[in-house]
Amino acid sequence: MKYYKDHYDVIVIGGALAGLSSALMLADKGKDVLVLERHNLPGGIATSFVRGGIEMEATLHEMMSIGSKKNRLKVGQFFDDMGVDIDWLKVPEAYHASLPGLEVTLHPGYKTFAREIDAAVPGSYSKVLHLMHLCYRVFNSVNELSIHPMSKPMMLLKHTEFVKTAGYSAKEVIDTFELPEKAVDLLAPYWIYVGSPLSELPFTIYAVLMADYIGWGSYVPRKFSHEMALKMAERAEAMGVQIEYRQEVEKILVANGGVYGVRTARGDEIHADYVISGAYPNKVYTSMIEPASEVPEKAIRQVNARRLSLTAFSVVMLLDREPEELGIRDYSIFSGDTMDTDELYEDLTGLGPYRYLTTICLNYANPDAVPKGMTSLSITTLPRADGWKTVSAEDYDRVKHEVAKQMIDDMSKYFGVNLLDHIVEIVIETPMTVNRYAGAWNGGIYGYTHRMEDHIIARLQTGDEERLIRGLEFAGAHAISGNGMGPAVTNGRKAAKNVLDAMAKEAEK
């Protein structure tokens, strides 16, 4: 029996969140889709692992853009629309900030959030609320404009605050509120989830992030992030998508400036009119296009011009006591010895000691995540790849353990308990793990950094010019929206939409 059909409408490289979102949307429109995944499981970084018979979340802290059942946001709505039924659990708080002179737990809801900041920094309520409302209006504009592009005069008329703030960094806009420094510190912790210091982070991105997380709160799937991938893959197959695992795509076949298929590591040549790549553009343009002479010169300039965003170092632990017995009281703790994000960003270039940590205790959102009497705790930092590229194979184990030990010691001090005495299972994930496991370029988890000159708004404007090989689209954290699992879903949908638009244009000819 033949393994593959003679021809597909679309081949998707990578069965993670972005690729599976593309596949679902294309299958929903009746297209014939093949997904090729190099791993033996779907999900990529959205995964879990089993240690000592217990399943543990490998990565996810929190998903944005889900919303409640009655009031879905775009990612939650997409899952519902596609018939992917995820058992979402709401995360109980926004975050606990442990910063110099501040120990504050903040909850979602703009007024609640402003009130709680005001309790820690008296006099800041109305300014914080005003800022949150500004974020909300910008968030609404971004959502509307990404679906209904409009003329510049109309945009000026209807989306004044979006237009007024689009050219400024988060720092520049926040500074206009003249808030006390400590209040600004409490407004900054999520910066790490978009990987740019506030001075470089476009306000538009900050606004969307804050409006979404603080307005609706965040969610996690009951069966860990892998629940999303497994259910998406199952639904895609039910809709007719062919998914093949352990099939690495080595080459994307191109002739006369357009794709016509792929070749796998097994040697299968498979044909399609469109290819959606979950592999990073850096990898595609430097080693996957066949023949290499079909790589446009502009493609190399393009990937060189972009700055890769952050990678991850995470210590995932199963502990032998309930959280309360270990002094762990919050779901999510951002801790650091400063909230100067420029300083912290510089610090992420090295190999530690890392000064800004994110600690997640899954029990508080998902009490059944681990057996009774135990705690699921992860401590994460999101370094830049630069430092890790200097680590030799001989030094890797030592460096990895030193960094993990420092992070465990720091959080042990914070909780007032020696976590080392309570570890039942421990897994240390490094940038190399991410690189090896998901094939992510330099172990990147967020694609390319959002900067003033290169972020979603600029990328929306240049989207057509960036399509350098006919029929080739990219879907992954490295695509237009960047940053994380929710945006990966959005990126997958956008790639599928581009393909559907191109197909419609072809049909008109």
Ligand X SMILES: Cc1cc2nc3c(=O)[nH]c(=O)nc-3n(C[C@H](O)[C@H](O)[C@H](O)COP(=O)(O)OP(=O)(O)OC[C@H]3O[C@@H](n4cnc5c(N)ncnc54)[C@H](O)[C@@H]3O)c2cc1C
Residue 445 touches ligand X, criterion: CB under 6 A: yes
What minimum distance in Å lies between the beta carbon of 124 and ligand X? 27
Q: Which amino acid is at 453?
A: E
What minimum distance in Å lies between the beta carbon of 64 and ligand X? 7
CA distances from 380 to 270, 341, 365, 424, 509 (A): 40, 17, 18, 18, 52
Q: Which is nearer to ligand X, 128 or 229 (CB)?
A: 229
Q: Which is nearer to ligand X, 375 or 430 (CB)?
A: 430
Residue list 290-349, contact with ligand X (CB under 6 A):
312, 314
The Cα angle at residue 489 between residues 40 and 190, in degrees rounded to 5: 110
What does the CA dihedral 6, 9, 12, 16 come to, rounded to 10 degrees? -120
How many Å apart are CA 192 and CA 381, to the nearest integer? 9
Could you give the string, one character per residue 76-95, with x where binding to ligand X holds by CB under 6 A and - elsewhere?
Answer: --------------------
What minimum distance in Å lies between the beta carbon of 115 and ligand X? 26
Q: Contacting ligand X (CB under 6 A), which of 86, 438, 469, 480?
A: 438
Beta-bridge partners for 474: 277
Task: Convert 419-471 into a string of H (helix), E (strand) and C (coil).
Answer: HHHHEEEEEEECHHHHHHHHCCHHHCCCCECCECCECHHHHHHHCCCCCCCEC
What minimum distance in Å lies between the beta carbon of 159 and ligand X? 26
Handedness of CA 34, 36, 40, 44 (dihedral sign): negative
Residue 217 touches ligand X, criterion: CB under 6 A: no
Q: Contacting ligand X (CB under 6 A), which of 38, 400, 450, 494?
A: 38
Residue 39 touches ligand X, criterion: CB under 6 A: yes
Span near ligand X by CB under 6 A; candidates 35-43, 73-81, 156-164, 494-502: 35-43
Q: Which is nearer to ligand X, 16 or 120 (CB)?
A: 16
Residue 408 touches ligand X, criterion: CB under 6 A: no
How many Å apart are CA 81 and CA 70, to the nearest integer? 14
DSSP class of residue 307 equals P
Span near ligand X by CB under 6 A; candidates 39-47, 70-78, 202-210, 495-503: 39-47
What minimum distance in Å lies between the beta carbon of 108 and ligand X? 15
Residue 494 touches ligand X, criterion: CB under 6 A: no
With residues binned 3-state (H G I as helix, E B as strand, rest as coil), the percentages for the chain, rounded to 5, are 45, 20, 35
How many Å apart are CA 309 and CA 440, to the nearest integer? 12
What minimum distance in Å lies between the beta carbon of 288 and ligand X? 7
For 384, other C-beta atoms within 10 Å of its C-beta total: 23
Q: Which is nearer to ligand X, 24 or 434 (CB)?
A: 434
Q: Contacting ligand X (CB under 6 A), which of 13, 131, 205, 232?
A: 13
Burial profile 476-505: b = 16 or more Cβ within 10 angstroms, e = fewer: bbbbbbbbbbbbbbbbbbbbbebbbebbee
Q: Which is nearer to ligand X, 173 or 365 (CB)?
A: 365
With a CB cutoff of 8 Å and minimum separation 6, the contacts of 507 are: none
How many Å apart are CA 421 and CA 356, to the nearest integer? 23
Q: Contacting ligand X (CB under 6 A), which of 380, 381, 490, 498?
A: 380
Residue 278 touches ligand X, criterion: CB under 6 A: yes
Q: Which amino acid is at 129?
A: L
Size of the site for ligand X (CB under 6 A): 38
Residue 73 touches ligand X, criterion: CB under 6 A: no
Q: Which is nearer to ligand X, 14 or 281 (CB)?
A: 14
For 104, other C-beta atoms within 10 Å of its C-beta total: 17
Span near ligand X by CB under 6 A; candidates 78-86, 107-115, 128-136, 478-486: 478-486
Residue 196 touches ligand X, criterion: CB under 6 A: no
For residue 46, what are its two tokens?
């959205």
- The residue among 476, 491, 481, 493 whose CA lies nearest residue 450 is 481
Q: Which is nearer to ligand X, 134 or 288 (CB)?
A: 288
Residue list 40-59, contact with ligand X (CB under 6 A):
44-46, 59
Q: 258-264 and 269-277 as β-strands: parallel, antiparallel, unpaired? A: antiparallel
Q: Contacting ligand X (CB under 6 A), which of 198, 279, 370, 432?
A: 279
Residue 14 touches ligand X, criterion: CB under 6 A: yes
Query: Interface with ligand X by CB under 6 A: which residues?
Result: 13-18, 36-39, 44-46, 59-63, 248-249, 278-279, 312, 314, 380, 429, 434, 438-440, 445-446, 476-477, 484-486, 488
